[in-house]
Structure 1
């Protein structure tokens, strides 16, 4: 009991400190955070931030260019087919393009051309506008763009790896001492060389398709109505003659039945006539 008066001041002090802490926490919770000044940005970025920025810039600079393959097809009618063809030829020369295929088809009611043009990818739109500037409407127009960037660089990476493997095999071939080892390494070299040539061919094809776009152009002219009528009339005569020949051939093919039919018909008429004469004789008597 003598100790209790001694400890009372100590407990009172602890109680006051605890109440002070609770008051400060309550005050902090009631402070409007939006009224506090925003922290000022530091004048100098940290070393890690500098490294990240440098990496981002390097990535943008070293990003691979897009590999795009553009193909198209257009079809239209024209009133002057030779003028339309000359316009396409002039547009090809002006844009560095070349004609890969040139076909003409003529019939009694229509004359048409089919051209396949290879155009530098950067001049595709310019060529298309120049070649078809007088076309009022298209029967068909379709432009397709295919992104082969991932595929192209995947093949390129695999090609590089295969060439490195080929070099290692060649180094091993120089060090081979037995016939078995030499034959085994040469077999692997043949296989890897075939794969390299296949990958190189694929890359060359894709590079050509990326560098030069392909446009198929079909245009035609409808001929005059008299020409159509003449064609229809001549076709009717030809068809009639063919039908006549068909009937003659059919008649020759079944001639025994025709003769038999004719014989039966004459025999039937003879019998009918005899019966008619007999009836007339009986009536007279």
Structure 2
């Protein structure tokens, strides 16, 4: 029993130390990620194959016709095995614009951007950002390996345990907590893999149009107003009838009182 308790304490201390160090290291990773993020106005530079880079491009340019350019961009996406994840078409007094978000494989990132730029007549902005997540990637994989090993130790203790029920419950609770941590890390790893494998292009195209004032507010004609007035009057009559029906006992009493009063006044006059 004492050995079993010591094992529990040993494994718990491993998890506690790992969680404490994890917080410090994650802060360091975030700082370094901020340093590694860069904004450039040229094509994506070459990087080593073993690096994990998240690429994002931000483009804005003018086109002759937004509808035609949108069709051309959709065809280019099909050509380079990309897909449009979001599209927002807007119109104002002076221009028509379309905001498009594209996801594309890293190997086609540069080529797709170059061909998309070919549909423009004036380029306002081309910005490419990179975020190196290699260190975070390796860190998560390392932590996952450690956590899985610790979980296996708990499971092994649980299998061989012949101690009290409270020790079994403690081991099961520890396994549950470690499993939740593993699932969270695996989720983060899947997210990073998706971001690394698919680059994102935020594109806004716009078309200049002659200034047009907004249309005047529609004013109803006489016959429309007359029809609505008749409908309103009819609705009022219906509401009054429904009200009278709902208070019919009061009306009946009032009528009976009125009739009785008239009869009483007539008898009084005769006297």
Instruction: List gaps (5 residues or longer) in structure 1.
Output: 1-62, 239-285
What's the offset of the Cα at 1:109? Answer: 2.6
3-state SS in 2 of match to 1:73: strand
The 5 A counterparts of 1:164-243 are 164-177=149-162, 178-225=164-211, 228=212, 230-231=213-214, 234=216
TM-score, with structure 2 as normaliser: 0.59
Q: CA deviation at 1:80?
A: 1.1
Say whether residues 1:135 and 2:135 are aligned partners: no
Corresponding residue SS for 1:96? coil
- Cα deviation for residue 65 of structure 1 reads 0.9
Return the index of the structure with the highest Cα Rg.
Answer: 1
| 1:110 Cα offset (Å) | 2.0
**1:85 maps to what in 2?**
70
How far off is 1:108 after superposition? 3.2
**Which of 73, 91, 100 in structure 1 is aligned with 2:58?**
73
| Whole-angstrom distance in 1 between the partners of 2:175 and 2:49 | 31
Cα distance in 2 for residues equivalent to 1:87 and 1:210: 26
Question: 1:64: how far off?
Answer: 7.8
Distance in 1 (CA, whole Å) between partners of 2:86 and 2:150 is: 41
Written as runs of structure 1 = structure 2, the 5 A alignment for 1:44-63 is none
More helix by share: 1
Ranked by relative contact order (alpha carbons within 8 Å, sequence separation 6 or more), the top structure is 2
Structure 2 CA distance for aligned equivalents of residues 64 and 194 of structure 1: 32
Counterpart for residue 16 of structure 2? none
Residue 94 to residue 112, structure 1, CA distance change in 2 (3 Å): same
5+ residue gaps, structure 2, are 1-47, 220-271
SS in 2 for 1:66: coil
1:192–1:209 CA distance, 2 compared to 1 (3 A):
same
2:95 to 91, 110, 133: 110
Which residue of structure 2 lines up, in the alignment, with residue 158 of structure 1? Answer: 143
- Map of 2:109 onto structure 1: 124
